[in-house]
Structures are given as structure tokens and as C-alpha cells.
Amino acid sequence: MASNKHFSKIPSNLSNNSDATDQSRPFVPNTVTFARRTNSGRYVNYSRDDLDSEIGSVDFTNYTVHMPPTPDNQTTDPSISQKVEEQYVSNSMFTGGFNSTTKAHLMDKVIEREANHPQMAGAKGSSCAIPGCDAKVMTDGRGQDLLPCECDFKICRDCFMDAVKTGGGICPGCKSPYKNTDLTDQGDQQGTDRGGGSKMERRLSLMKSNNKSALVRNQTGDFEQNQWLYETSGTYGYGNAFWTKDGNFGSGKDGDGEGMETQDLMSKAWKPLTRKLNIPAAVLSPYRLLILIRVVVLALFLSWRIKHQNQDAVWLWGMSVVCELWFAFSWLLDQLPKLCPVNRSTDLQVLKEKFEMPTPSNPTGKSDLPGLDVFVSTADPEKEPPLVTSNTILSILAAEYPCEKLACYVSDDGGALLTFEAMAEAASFANIWVPFCRKHAIEPRNPDSYFSLKKDPYKNKVKPDFVKDRRMVKREYDEFKVRINSLPDSIRRRSDAYHAREEIKAMKMQRQNRDDELLEPVKIKKATWMADGTHWPGTWLTSSSDHAKGDHAGIIQVMLKPPSDEPLHGDSEGFIDLSDVDIRLPLLVYVSREKRPGYDHNKKAGAMNALVRASAVMSNGAFILNLDCDHYIYNSEAMREGMCFMLDRGGEKLCYVQFPQRFEGIDPSDRYANHNTVFFDVNMRALDGLMGPVYVGTGCLFRRVALYGFDPPKSKERSSGCCGWCFPRGKKKNRIPDENRALRMGEYDDEEMSLYIVPKKFGNSTFLLDSIPVAEFQGRPLADHPSVKNGRPPGALTIPRELLDATTVAEAIAVISCWYEDKTEWGSRIGWIYGSVTEDVVTGYRMHNRGWKSVYCVTKRDAFRGTAPINLTDRLHQVLRWATGSVEIFFSRNNALLASPKMKILQRIAYLNVGIYPFTSIFLIVYCFLPALSLFSGQFIVQTLNVTFLVYLLIISITLCLLAILEIKWSGISLEEWWRNEQFWLIGGTSAHLAAVLQGLLKVMAGVEISFTLTTKSGGDDVDDEFADLYMVKWTSLMIPPITIMMVNLIAIAVGFSRTIYAVVPQWSKLIGGVFFSFWVLAHLYPFAKGLMGRRGRTPTIVYVWAGLIAITISLLWVAINPPAGNTEIGGSFSFP
């Protein structure tokens, strides 16, 4: 379980202290297998110490090479080895995990075709001309060969190193000495100026402060966490940041550049990146007044209802009053957080001026934006088609964000080769798609969505070659789709062929060993084979030990290596003229965390936490954007809009920026409220006026240090509880001033956080620990305004990032191992929180509970778009999962009633409503039966329909309608969307919510878990209909309560009319009251009834069976309860025996 911290020759201060407890452990060098399978079938050793060694075993997994801990002892420029090592790392698949050696398998190819981009894994290149070596020669950023001799003799990196070190620097081709061993491009010379010392010291170093109080220790000698960062100044490594030695925002005094004093920067006209747009008072003031009026009227109405009992039907009155009291309470919980809605806007031009334009502190105009890591999660290629995931990845790679600052990580929790090769195909197609998007400003940048647009694709396009380019890219995309669709068969055929070959080899071996003996059938495990002819280390098509969904090694493959720091323009010789287009691609990494039996892997939350750790080691972006595999970037500027909030004044207190979810493929009428516009455009905008919106699982831009469980900077001291004013907490001595606080964690706010505690929270990876303050520094806003405290200087993030090496990726393998989270706080305080099916809401709640704020970013053009289930049954099961998570939240420590004083009261009410709303289903289903009971019994919830009751009912209804109109006014939704939401509120409340409450209560009280699954399916055969799923009827037990409610109310209406018509003294008022409320229930259930009918009457027989049984049962029950007195009334003389 030891981490790879021993790779650091000169550890940082944090690493040095955190290793104090491990000094007694013996030194165990980390091992990284570097083997390459040649065309002849043999394995070549790529160790520097043993260039010509070969592996005797056929299985490459038995070969291990010890990587030197200090690879800096070379005669050539270190930048050469760094560049070439990154090339080798990007062509290697790293695997490893619990009790296993980390292996780096060099792959000739990752797909059947040859890679066509220099950044892609398995990129094409010339072979080494040294006899017996078929390795690839060194290449530059364009994929062109780097030839160290004027004779153009092709030589690989290892052979070149061997010729320089042991061959006297003589070229093996022309036998003349090498004139220059520096093969780096002129544009990369700045890479040698990143500071002295070892590579690890430069790459992941803490700030070497000139201020001796930077790493403050208390009187006991413990590290002072509260002053960990903000009093430091020094050199930053892999975080792409530097801090000037003179403390100015440039190097004008002591350096070579044109410096910029702080006062010079402050004298410039300051422009905000974002603006808060308040709702007009003409709309908001009446809205708040109506809420107040309705609260008063509800209080008076409920008081009147309690005082005026229905003596003829006390039971009916009692049930109705209890339900009405709960509805009033539930409405209040939902309405109070809506008192302060706001809108926001961003200014992308100001963002560009501040971070990407030449300034005295940034003369070259390089991007000063922080790093951004994008997470895409997928688990099962059968349920989540690889083509959908590939299109999402392509939209990320083509986003308008500096590609050297952007990294995309794809989490394949199923470890499927299909997903891996689909990713590789997407990386290959990105070589065409991304430059095409940049050249012609394509929107959206999901190729499937773009080529499916119904509008004119040539609108506003002025370049004469656009038509030709679009036609050629469309053809390439069609071929790409065919390749993706054919991958399952291709993998199966390839695996069958290799398996047959292995069986033949085994049979030959058996015949050679047993000449005359009777041969037994050869049994070989049917493996899944990769394109380069080796075993896939993940899940096999035929599950086997160490190769099953819950039992496989961790895998990391750098599909696209990090791009060069300088723009790289294409040429005009290809089928698209890219001479003025940057052809670089962002870093793309495939990650499949290790899974082993006996470990709780915590589903999606565990996969996201594994990505957090792996990305911290490899790229360490200060911000993280997480997307579901079916949610693609619809607005290429969306990332920049989110950054406007994070980097604006006060942005250091934001934990995340939530974008609204928008969906495609929804039927025009939105029958089941799939767009969920009331939630995303009303509730979320309202929460934005408090502490911020809740986290909804996708389309969210996180601050990395907020995910690490730290508190926001400079938060005001508060009491320790709701009774803090009565029982104040004793003051501690030597309290650290707020302006000096940096990375703080809850219970350590007022006490020192020892470095002995840090590994117990984050794990024992010093790479990960050292990356935390670097990520915090990158995420700071610019110190360009007097009110910005603890900002960073302009131009601090313009230096190029360090190149990837084997040590880095090996450490990333270690942190995604199944054992890494043992005895740490991952999942309990750090990262995505475990223990709930709605881990997204809980994770956001924990951040707000620590005092962080969030904002809601609604862009003019939708930021992201995804898919949603339009089928009734699928929609009900989706709502069931959400409601089950809410019930779990209510019965857990994440209940808003237990929130800290840092959370505002209205925000607490909003989170309380999240946990309580499923319980409304209990009262709702009772209230839906009350009209029927009223009609069956001939009674009503009130004694008589007097004027007082009707006036109250009228006022409550009118205020509800007026509030809806005003909500529509300030949110921008339509009246139809509001009504659809009301309808599905009742449909979900009487089905999925009730099942969630039952499931939650049984789980909490009895420990019994119930799952509601599909039982039968019936659907149409019209494959050409875009909305065919809408008419598909799949029976589920969740449909029973709504069907029962509809049948009971329909029968009750018939019974009520019959009784009134045949009665001696008709009670028309009671009939009208009961029928009115029955129609109210049926009107809300109309979409549900329409969904049951399918299309053209294709309804499952079970629906008719249930309807008939319920109707007969209710009719007989009514006759038994209220038998007729004579033959003159309806029902005749029937009586039970």
C-alpha cells in the first residue's frame, strides 16, 4: 500500500513531514514494467540500464523493470528525455492495483487503423534503423521525425541515449560525431528555465518562502494548517504557476521584463466579469405580497376548518384537515426559498482582456486561465452507447478553452474494451473534427447533433471552402459512426481468432510433450484481445478471475498526450486547409479504477473520487467540470462563462457553478414534464439569491479545494451551535487572523492541523498532498482590485506545464486502487459523499454546510444538452431513485435540521424540503381518495358548502394562479410547462414518491431493501418514429396506486350521480363538491392515463385486468357498506349472504 513518494529525491516540506511516521519502513523501489511487443513476437526491454535484454516468457505480465528513482543523471539536456519519455508514456497502458506491480505496456496501436495525430497513443512514426530494434523514432509536436545527425539516420530515443553514453557520441549511420545533442525545438527552450534542482522538486514543490513564517509551527512543533498557504511566495511546479520574487506583478525591478507595480494595476479601470440582474420590483414586490397574503389566508382558512367540524362525517373531516395542514406546511417549505430570485450575466470580453491579452505582466498574451479537468462517467456500454459517449468527448475536445489548460478524463467503471476502443476512435476522429470546428466556428460541437440540425447549416458562414470542408467531414463522421457500431463484432471476431490461435498453440505443445499418450481436450480461458494482440486487462466478454466487472486491475491510458505550449498550425496539403488553425488537442485520459471482490466501490461517487485523485496527480486543474456521458457541450463558450464567476471578485468563496440541464428528444407536448423547467428555471434561480443552487449531478463546475473538504477562505467566526449564544465556546489562544487563513477544515478551524493528520484524511500519496496548495493557488482570482484579498498576480499561470512521465502515471494508478480510500475521509468528508443514491445533493449540501456558496449560470445559448427518458415507466423509475435518495437524506446526518450555523435559514429550509417532499405522497394519496369517499358516503369534508368556505377556497385558488403567473413572468417559463409540472407532481406523488417512502422506512426500521423493477414490456414496432419510446407501455408496480385512484374516482362519480338522482331529497351541494374534487384529481392524472393507452389502443392486458378487478371490488364494497333499502333505488335488492 505504500505510495510512490520515494520517487522524490528532494521531497517538499509537506512531503517531508508527512513521511515522518514512515521512516522506519524499508525502502521499496516502485516498479514499472516497460515492455514492448515487437512485430516478431518478442518483448524488448526499455530500461535504460539494460537496453538489449529480452523477456524469455511469452506473457509480458511476468516481466518487470525497475525504473530508476532519479532519472536525471544524463549527459544531454533534461528536456530531451522529458519530451521523449512523455511520448513513451502516452503510448503505454498503465495497469496495477492491490498487491500487484504497476505495469506500463507499450502499445503499437490502440485501434485497428493507424493513428493519424502526433498526440494520439499509438501514433504512426518511423522505425529505428538500428538492427534488432523496431521502436519508433523521436518526434516533435507535429509528429515529424527528430533526427540528431545530418545524415538523417533514424534512431529511437533509447538507441540515441546509448550512443551518446557508451558509444562516444558517434552516429551509428555515418560514423561521425553528433554535433548537437539538443533535439528540442527552439520554441521549447523556455522549458529549460523552469528552475533548478531535480525534476520532482521542480514539478511538485511547495512554495519556498522567503518569509520564515510561511510554514508556521506552534509551540508544540506541529504544522500550522491555517497559515499553510496565504503567507507564502515562491515557485510553483506542475500547477503552471509562479510567484515573483520581488512581490510585484511582473519582473520590472530585478528581472528582464517590464514589471508592473501594484498601484499601476489598481489605477486601471476595473471591470467585473459578472453582474447580478435583480428581478424588477414591479414583478418581485407583488410576488412577495401575494405570498404573504396567501400565508395569512391559509392560516385563517385552517383555523376556520378546525373550528367547524362536520358532525355527520367526523372521520372525513379529520382526514381532510390533517392533509390540508400538511399541504400548507409543504407549500410553505417550497415557497419561502423563492423570496429572493436573481438572474446573472457574464462578460466574456472582459475575461479575454484580463486573461488572454498582452499586458505588462503578460507580454506574450498567453492564456492566464487556470487549468480545467473535465470528468465524463460511464459504466455500461450496453446501457450507455459508446457512440453517445464519443460524441460527448468530441464536444469537450472542441470546446473554446485553451487546450493546454484543458484535460478530459473518461471514467469507465465497467472496464470494457468496447468503451476503450470507442474512445480511441473518438481521439482519432478529433484530429479532423476539432480543427474543423475551430476554423468555421461550428455550434454545437457534438458532430451527431450538428449534422442533425434542421436549420440552414450555411447561415452566417462566409469562408468559401466551408461547403467542401463540411461535406468531407460529414463523410468522415459517417465512416466514424460505422466503425463505432462495428466495434462489438470486431472485438468478438478478433478475440475468437486469437483464442483459436492459442488453442492451436496449446495443442501443438501438448503433442510435443506427450508423444504416444492419449490427448485430453485443451481448456484455455477465452480472453478478450486488444488491437495490438495482447490481453485486455479489464473486463472480458467472458468473465474470468481478475477480468470481471467487479474484479479487474486499474487501467490508465493517455489517449492524447498533453499538447505543446505554443500554438501548432496545420498545413494546406490535407483535404482541409488548416494553415491558420491550431491543430493541438487537449489531454485525453482513459481511466478504469481497480475493482476487487470484498470492497464497496460506492458506484458513481466512488468513480468520481478516483478521477479527482488521478487528475490531481496528472494535470491538477484548479477546477473540475463533471458531465454524464449523454450530456454534451452545446455552447462551446460554456466553460468560459463558468470561469467568469469563479475568477471574479468574491469568486474564491464559490464552491461550484451549476448549469441548468437541458434535454433533447423530448416530445413536443412534454407529457411527463421531462424538461423539468419549473425546477431548473424557478427553484434554482430562487436558490441563487440565497447561498446558491443545489448540485444536480451533471453540468457543474467545481472548485477542486472545495471538493477536498476545506472551508471557504475568510469566513466569519460563528458560534458552535444554535445555543452558542447561551453556551459560548471558549476562546483559544493564539488564534490566527482571518486574513492569514488558507486551507481550513471544519473541526480544525481554531486548532492546528498537524501534518500527521493530513495523510489520514487524503491517503498516503505525497503527489496528491503536494498538489493541493498548487490547485488552491491556481483557483484564486486576479489581485486586480483593492477588495480582492489573497489574489494571485496576473501572468502567474502562463508558464508551460511539466511533461508527463512514468512516475506520474504510476502514482495515478496507485491512487485509483481499491485499497487507497481505506482509513481515509474520502467519501465521508472529502470528494463526492457516499451513502446515498443521490450523492450529488449530499455533496452540494456538505459544501454549503461548511459556508461555501454556489451560483447558477444560465447562458443565452444552452450550455449543455442531454437526454431524458420520455417513457412513462422509465420516468417513474427515475423519479423513484431521486425520491429514495431524499428519504435517505432525511434519515441521515445530512438532514437540514442538523445543519451548521453557517447555512442561512432559507437555504436550510430549501434543503429540508429536499428531504421532506416524498412524505407528501402519504397525504396526497389520501386526499385523492377523499372525493371518492365523499361521493360513496354521500357526505363532504364540510357540513355544507356555505359562503365562508367558498370565499376561502376562491381566494386560495386565485392567489395560487397569480403566483404562478408572476413566477412565469420572472423565470421565463410558459404556462403549459407550469401546468405539466403540476400534473406530474401528482402522478409522481401517488406512485414513485409513495414507493420511495415505503422503501426508505423499511430500510431504516427493518433493514429490508425493496427494489421496484420492470416485469413486462409492450411496445410499438415503428422504428422510424422519433418518439416511439413515448408510446411504449412497460408494466411496473408503481402504476397500481394511480390506476386505483382513477378507477375509484370514476366509479365514485357514477355512484354519486346515481344516488343523487334516485334520492328522495337530492343533496346537490355535496355531489357538486365531490365531483369537483374528483375531476381535479382526474385532470392531473390525464397524462398518466394517456400514457397507459399507448398508441392506437395497444395497451397491455394487465391494465384491463387490474381496472376490471378494481372496479368490481369497489362496486361490491360500496353495496356492502351502504345496501339499498328497497327495489326503487339503484342496486335492487342485492345483499351479501
Q: Give CA–CA dist 163/358, Å, rounded.
A: 44
Q: Give CA–CA dist 143/158, Å, rounded.
A: 18
Please name the residue that has the C-alpha cell 412524505: 919
Residues facing 106 on adjacent strands: 36, 92
DSSP string over 836-903: -S-HHHHHHHHHHHTT-EEEE---SS-SEEEE---SHHHHHHHHHHHHHHHHHHHTSTT-GGG--TTS
Contacts of residue 276, Cβ cutoff 8 Å, sequence gap at least 6: 342, 343, 344
Please state whether beta strands 853-856 and 654-658 pair in parallel, antiparallel, or not at all (unpaired): parallel
Residues of 979-1005 as b/e, b for ≥16 C-beta within 10 angstroms?
Answer: ebbbbbbbbbbbbbbbbbbbbbeebee
Q: Give CA–CA dist 330/203, Å, rounded.
A: 54
DSSP-based three-state secondary structure for 378: strand
C-alpha cell at 1102: 394487465
Nearest to 817 by CA among 765, 757, 761, 759: 765
Q: Give CA–CA dist 744/258, Å, rounded.
A: 36
DSSP-based three-state secondary structure for 93: strand
Q: Cα dihedral sign for 896, 901, 902, 904?
A: positive
DSSP-based three-state secondary structure for 166: coil
* 840 a catalytic residue: yes
In this structure, the chain runs to a length of 1137
Q: Where are the beta strands (DSSP E) in 320-405?
A: 342-346, 372-378
Q: How far is CA 165 from CA 80, 162, 183, 551, in A?
A: 14, 5, 16, 44
Residues facing 170 on adjacent strands: 177
Residues facing 826 on adjacent strands: 830
* 108 a catalytic residue: no
Please name the residue that has the C-alpha cell 538507441: 159
Task: Determine contact, residues 658/863, Cβ cutoff 8 Å.
Answer: no
Annotated catalytic residue within 413, 711, 749, 1029: 413
Task: Determine contact, residues 992/917, Cβ cutoff 8 Å.
Answer: no
Q: Give CA–CA dist 827/599, Å, rounded.
A: 14
Residues of 593-604 as b/e, b for ≥16 C-beta within 10 angstroms?
Answer: bbbbeebebbeb
Task: Determine contact, residues 776/229, Cβ cutoff 8 Å.
Answer: yes
DSSP string over 942-1001: SSS--HHHHHHHHHHHHHHHHHHHHHHHHH---HHHHHHHHHHHHHHHTTHHHHHHHHHH
Q: Give CA–CA dist 715/720, Å, rounded.
A: 14
Determine what percent of the chain falls in helix, strand and coil, rounding each to the nearest 5: 45, 10, 45
Task: Determine contact, residues 408/587, Cβ cutoff 8 Å.
Answer: yes
C-alpha cell at 344: 446573472
Annotated catalytic residue within 840, 862, 874, 1029: 840
Residue 982, sorted as left (phi over 0), alpha (psi -120 to 50) or beta, turns out to be alpha
Amino acid sitting at position 887: V
Q: Interior CA angle at 652 toward 648 and 653, to 5°?
A: 115
Give the 3-state secondary structure of 639-687.
Answer: HHHHHHHHCCCCHHHEEEEECCCEEECCCCCCCCCCCCHHHHHHHHHHH
The residues that are catalytic are: 413, 840
